């Protein structure tokens, strides 16, 4: 029959170890306490190893407990801050891709994508560009549209002697549409509020009275970009501009934010595109008490063309004086060259309509001495 194992209490083990430390032989201790001599040696060794902890500073022990508690508090706080930050992240994948740092010394691309809630495949994705023939055709379409913005896909196809369906598709890619009235000339976002046009018979008499913005197409050697700019109607001064590879509204909001750092208008005029009817865009204006004006869908042909005429004229100027003369190789080249042109446009280029003064001189100078300009009365 197997012998039953005896479990010794901690007190008995301590007495045995202390007896061993007093000089008694292991056999004497074994007989006295009824234990095996091997256990006597084991418990003596254990007492010697752990004796130092008995005299450790109690303050250090309690400090260790406080540090552990603080550590848990920091972990909880970081988790809460991370959850808050993720709610504030931009919804646009293009904006998230710009936040990723492939050369970061500590965070891998995988981890950065997880923190940004961005698929790694989306980060590495390179959009397929149009063929060289289509890119050349897109530039030709843009040139025709600048000269005759009332031309639709039919007339442009006849002008260029190409298939109309091809022209239609490329015009959709470029965001171009004839300005004559027809159903759904613009596509506002679903459920977004459409604001009235406020500039009918309005005299433009001073700077920061009316600002306006729009989007245009910029050709590259191997692709294309979209350009948006914010302009002051009275002085023609370009307050801000941004480039983007897609028509998502993030870059329009960025341009607006940059312009509002300089000043703010009484009225802000746009078309009814999804970028400008979105809550993200209109809320920035409403929060500052700026009146929102939008061009209308169904107005006479000569009227609608004037609803945003200052921006349309700006696009014609920048393309014929800069874009079509440069042949941008890539986005970096376009960004650098356009930045140089906007400085020239604002600081150097004199406008006959401004009595041969520059937009910067009028915007920051004696603008109120300029003659009044009135938006043409709509029929």
Hey, is 374 helix, strand or coil?
A: strand
- Residue 276 vs residues 150, 224, 377: alpha-carbon distances, Å: 22, 21, 25
Q: Provide, for the chain, the percentages of residues in helix, strand and coil under a 3-state DSSP scheme, each rounded to the nearest 5.
A: 55, 10, 35
- Tens digit of each residue's pLDDT (9 = 90 or more) over 4-22: 667 777 777 787 777 777 7
- Tens digit of each residue's pLDDT (9 = 90 or more) over 256-284: 999 999 999 999 999 888 889 888 899 99
Q: Find out whether 215 and 176 touch, Cβ atoms under 8 Å.
A: no
**Per-residue pLDDT at 296:** 64
Residues 324, 170: Cα–Cα separation, whole Å: 18
**Per-residue pLDDT at 274:** 86
- Tens digit of each residue's pLDDT (9 = 90 or more) over 222-257: 888 999 999 999 999 999 999 998 888 889 999 999
- Residue 312 vs residues 233, 270, 307, 308, 348: alpha-carbon distances, Å: 12, 12, 10, 7, 21
Instruction: Report the C-alpha dihedral over residues 233, 235, 238, 239, rounded to 10 degrees.
Output: -90
Q: Where are the alpha helices (DSSP H) in 6-131?
A: 10-21, 26-33, 37-54, 58-88, 93-99, 109-116, 120-124
Residue 184 has pLDDT above 50, yes or no: no
**Per-residue pLDDT at 377:** 39
- The pLDDT confidence band at residue 57, using thresholds 50, 70 and 90, is low
Hey, is 268 helix, strand or coil?
A: strand
Residues 234, 266: Cα–Cα separation, whole Å: 12
Hey, is 351 helix, strand or coil?
A: strand
* Mean pLDDT of the chain, nearest integer: 80
Domain ranges, ordered by start, for the chain: 10-50, 72-124, 132-174, 203-374
Q: Find out whether 29 and 18 touch, Cβ atoms under 8 Å.
A: no
**Per-residue pLDDT at 227:** 93
Q: Where are the alpha helices (DSSP H) in 89-225?
A: 93-99, 109-116, 120-124, 132-147, 153-160, 164-174
Q: Which CATH superfamily is domain 203-374 in?
A: Ribonuclease H-like superfamily/Ribonuclease H (3.30.420.10)
Q: Find out whether 372 and 204 touch, Cβ atoms under 8 Å.
A: yes
Residue 61 has pLDDT above 80, yes or no: no
- The pLDDT confidence band at residue 2, using thresholds 50, 70 and 90, is low
> Which residues are bridge partners to 229 per DSSP?
214, 241
Tokens encoding 143: 């040139």
Least confident interval from 85-89, 103-107, 273-277, 353-357: 85-89
DSSP string, 290-347: -EEEE--SS--HHHHHHHTHHHHHHHHHHIIIIIHHH---SHHHHHHHHHHHHHHHHH
More confident residue, 127 or 150: 150
Return the closest-CA partner of residue 156 out of 49, 108, 147. 147
More confident residue, 252 or 124: 252
């Amino acid at each position: 029959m197997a012998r039953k194992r005896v479990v010794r209490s901690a007190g008995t083990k301590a007495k045995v170890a202390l007896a061993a430390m007093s000089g008694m032989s292991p056999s004497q201790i074994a007989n006295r306490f009824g234990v095996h001599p091997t256990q006597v040696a084991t418990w003596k060794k254990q007492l010697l190893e752990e004796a130092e902890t008995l005299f450790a500073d109690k303050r250090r022990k309690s400090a260790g407990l406080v540090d552990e508690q603080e550590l848990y508090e920091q972990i909880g706080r970081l988790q809460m801050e991370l959850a808050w930050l993720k709610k504030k992240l931009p919804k646009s994948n293009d904006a998230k891709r710009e936040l990723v740092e492939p050369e970061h010394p500590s965070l891998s691309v995988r981890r950065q994508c997880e923190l940004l809630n961005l698929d790694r495949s989306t980060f590495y994705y390179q959009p397929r560009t149009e063929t060289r023939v289509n890119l050349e055709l897109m530039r030709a379409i843009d040139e025709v549209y600048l000269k005759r913005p009332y031309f639709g896909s039919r007339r442009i196809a006849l002008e260029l002697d190409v298939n109309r369906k091809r022209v239609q598709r490329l015009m959709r890619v470029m965001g171009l549409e004839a300005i004559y009235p027809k159903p759904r000339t613009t596509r506002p976002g679903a459920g977004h509020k459409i604001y009235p046009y406020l500039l009918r018979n309005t005299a433009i008499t001073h700077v920061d009275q009316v600002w306006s913005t729009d989007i245009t197409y910029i050709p590259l050697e191997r692709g294309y970009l979209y350009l948006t700019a914010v302009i002051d109607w009275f002085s023609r001064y370009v307050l801000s501009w941004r480039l983007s590879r897609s028509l998502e509204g993030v870059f329009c909001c960025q341009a607006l934010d940059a312009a509002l750092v300089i000043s703010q208008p009484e009225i802000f005029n746009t078309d009814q595109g999804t970028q400008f009817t979105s809550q993200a865009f209109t809320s920035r204006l409403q929060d500052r008490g700026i009146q929102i004006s939008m061009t209308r869908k169904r107005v006479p042909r000569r009227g609608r063309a004037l609803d945003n005429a200052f921006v349309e004229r700006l696009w014609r100027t920048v393309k014929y004086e800069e874009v079509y003369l440069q042949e941008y190789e890539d986005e970096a080249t376009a960004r650098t060259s356009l930045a140089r042109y906007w400085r020239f446009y604002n600081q150097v280029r004199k406008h006959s309509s401004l009595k041969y003064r520059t937009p910067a001189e009028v915007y920051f100078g004696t603008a109120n001495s300029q003659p009044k300009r009135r938006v043409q009365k709509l029929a």
